[in-house]
Structure 1
Amino acid sequence: MHLPNPYKQHPKVSEKAWISETAVIIGNVNIEDDVFVGPNAVLRADEPGSSITVHSGSNVQDNVIVHALSHSEVLIGKNTSLAHGCIVHGPCRIGEGCFIGFGAVVFDCNIGKDTLVLHKSIVRGVDVSSGRMIPDGTVITSQTCADALEDITKDLTDFKRSVVRANIDLVEGYIRLGEEG
């Protein structure tokens, strides 16, 4: 479902993206090529001056919520995965090649490229450097904690790349299926 916001801004969705019929996209939202938006995901830029951009190759999985507060933006970098049930709340910038895990919450933060936020973690009010890993269930609400994060491991880098590839394959498959039927 694509809806305008009260300011008559409509979502802009690439024809090369795949959006589930049960996803809800409202307002000043821009979705680029090769993006997968799963069932029951909500992307909502309906407050004054808010915007959401999901760059190419990214995936917004089932039950993800992305919302931008008034006069804020949410930027999702290329080839980034927002896993099932996570919440991304603006203002927020997530760099290229990131993974935000199941049930994680990120708000009012900048997450550098190639960073992995594992399941049920909370990241708020900090800048996370590129190439870091936030372990399962970790709460990062001080810059000191953000600065102390360890580097991502090769196996987790490989994992997040495999998630992106799987979702791009899904986009291509669903688009093909739609063209056939």
Structure 2
Amino acid sequence: MLYPNPQNQHPKISENAWISETAIIVGDVTIGDNVFVAHNAIIRADEPGSSVTIGDNCNVQDNVIIHALSNSEVKIENDTSLAHGCIVHGPCTLGQGCFVGFGTVVFDCNIGDDVLVLHNATVRAVDIPSGKVVFDGQVITKQDDVEKLDEITPDLAKFKNSVINANIKLVDGYKDLAQEA
């Protein structure tokens, strides 16, 4: 379901994206090519001056919530995965090739490229440089905590890339089904 926000801004969605009919997208939202937005995802840029931009080849899985506060932006760069039930709240920037795990909350932060924020973690009010890992359940709310984060391992990079590739295949599969109907 696509809705304008109270400022009468409408979502802008690539023809090459796939959006579930149970997803809700409101306001100044831009969605790029080959993006998969799964069932019951909610993407809202409805407060004044808010916006959400989702780059190409991203996936927004079931029950994800993306919301931007007034006069803030959520920017999600290309090839990023948002896993089931995570919350991405603006202001927030996620770099290219990131993974945000199940039930994770990220708010008021800047996350560099190729960062994994694994399941049930919380990241708030920090800047995380590229190539880092926030492990399951970890709470990162002070910049000093960021200095202790590990670098991404080859196994985790492989996992992250497999999620991106699986969801791009879902975009193609769902679009093929729609054409057959």
- For residue 74 of structure 2, give the secondary structure of its aligned residue in structure 1: strand
Unaligned runs of 5+ in 1: none
- For residue 9 of structure 1, give the secondary structure of its aligned residue in structure 2: coil
**What is the CA deviation profile of residues 2-34 of structure 1, one whole-angstrom value per residue up to 9, with x for unaligned ones?**
000000000001110000000000000000000
Q: Distance in 1 between matches of 2:160 and 2:174?
A: 21
- For residue 66 of structure 2, give the secondary structure of its aligned residue in structure 1: strand
Unaligned runs of 5+ in 2: none
Q: Distance in 1 between matches of 2:163 and 2:22?
A: 22
Q: Distance in 2 between matches of 1:84 and 1:104?
A: 9
Aligned ranges for residues 1-181 of structure 1 at < 5 Å? 1-181=1-181
Cα distance, 1:147 vs. partner? 1.9
1:118 maps to amino acid: L
- Give 4+ residue runs of structure 1 displaced > 6 Å after superposition: none
Q: Distance in 2 between matches of 1:77 and 1:119?
A: 20
- For residue 164 of structure 1, give the secondary structure of its aligned residue in structure 2: helix
Q: Distance in 2 between matches of 1:147 and 1:19?
A: 38
Contact 1:124 1:141 in 2 (8 A): yes
**What is the CA deviation profile of residues 135-169 of structure 1, one whole-angstrom value per residue up to 9, with x for unaligned ones?**
00000000010122110110000000000000000
Q: Distance in 1 between matches of 2:154 and 2:103?
A: 23
2:158 maps to amino acid: D
1:128 maps to amino acid: I
- For residue 8 of structure 2, give the secondary structure of its aligned residue in structure 1: coil
